[in-house]
Amino acid sequence: MSIKNFHGIYAATIVPMKQDGTIDKTILINHLKEISSVNGIKGLLINGHAGENHILSQDEQVELVKITRSVVSNDTLIVSGLNAECSKIGSEVAKKMIDNGADSIMIFPPFSWGLSYDEDLIFNHHNIIAKTIKSPIMIYQASINAGSMAYKSNTLERLINISEVIAIKEGSWETSKYDFNRRLIKNLRPEVAVMASGDEHLLSCFMIGSEGSLVSLAIIIPEAIIGLYQSIISNNLKEAMNYHNVIYPLAKAIYGTTPASYATARLKTCLKLIGKIPNDKMRSSMNSLNNIEINNLKAAMTLAGIKY
């Protein structure tokens, strides 16, 4: 598959849970079918941060790939996140994901990397997985606020030169850093897709330049995300600003409000409010959002024109 085939808008999905914390497969299938059928959605990012990849078991993550491939159309691309501390285990899981229908693997930095920065370890981890599966790889560039989980320029240069790398989800969450990293990557390997992230500033990242985005807000307001991207491509700034004004309040309420760790819970609460999922249960020990949080989300949804 050529690199350009991966360009476009991907919805980063959640995993609906039953009250006992097990995966609600019926609701999950509905979730996957509905969002993947939206005109303009290129594919899905499953097992991402929004999909609670750090909490699901390896078997569950592989099963999610299998379920997704069985219910979406053949032309819907599946990018599966991989969050593994051990490169060998990660390689084995990634191979199972590819064998069960994933088109690409997005390698997330394990949370332990936040304790210290080791460039050789980071490179070796990606390279071992890439050479094991021999399939398209996407890199995840963490936020500038993520400490040593955010890759330095020298490290990005090494990672981009792994031949299996076809894209990067650039989540620096700061537009000047996004611009810098995009220029760096395009100078090294112009064919590698730089996918915008950071829902609060998709407009500015798209205007700087992007081959698409893998974004969780697309599960709530897919038409606005797709419309923004297409407006920038067609140089219609007025239309783009209209879409941005729909996206921004919701992005701010979900991702731009502390604590940032509540983002997935906020996504689930929004989906519950609009009747897409029956409850906002998280796999972790996190409680349901309090009334202040819920009212903040309701206000943002009202500004975005979403009925609940």
pLDDT, position 287: 77
pLDDT tens digits, 224-255? 999 999 999 999 999 999 999 999 999 999 99
Q: Is the pLDDT of residue 12 over 80?
A: yes
286 — pLDDT class (breaks 50, 70, 90): confident
pLDDT, position 46: 98
Q: Is the pLDDT of residue 288 over 80?
A: yes
pTM (two decimals): 0.96
Exposure string for 262-295, b = 16+ CB within 10 A, e = fewer: bbbbbbbbbbbbeebbebbbbbeeeeebeeebbe
User: Across residues 14-19, what is the average pLDDT?
Assistant: 95
List Cα–Cα distances, 230 to 24, 38, 201, 226, 247, in angstroms: 34, 14, 16, 6, 14
pLDDT tens digits, 68-88? 999 999 999 999 999 999 999
1 — pLDDT class (breaks 50, 70, 90): very low
pLDDT tens digits, 181-228? 999 999 999 999 999 987 888 999 999 999 999 999 999 999 999 999
pLDDT, position 50: 93
Q: Is the distance from CB of 197 to CB of 214 less than 8 angstroms?
A: yes
User: Across residues 291-297, what is the average pLDDT?
Assistant: 96
Cβ neighbours of residue 115 closer than 8 Å, sequence gap 6 or more: 148
User: Across residues 275-287, what is the average pLDDT?
Assistant: 88
User: Across residues 54-66, what is the average pLDDT?
Assistant: 96
Q: Is the pLDDT of residue 2 over 60?
A: no
Q: Is the distance from CB of 212 to CB of 42 less than 8 angstroms?
A: yes
65 — pLDDT class (breaks 50, 70, 90): very high
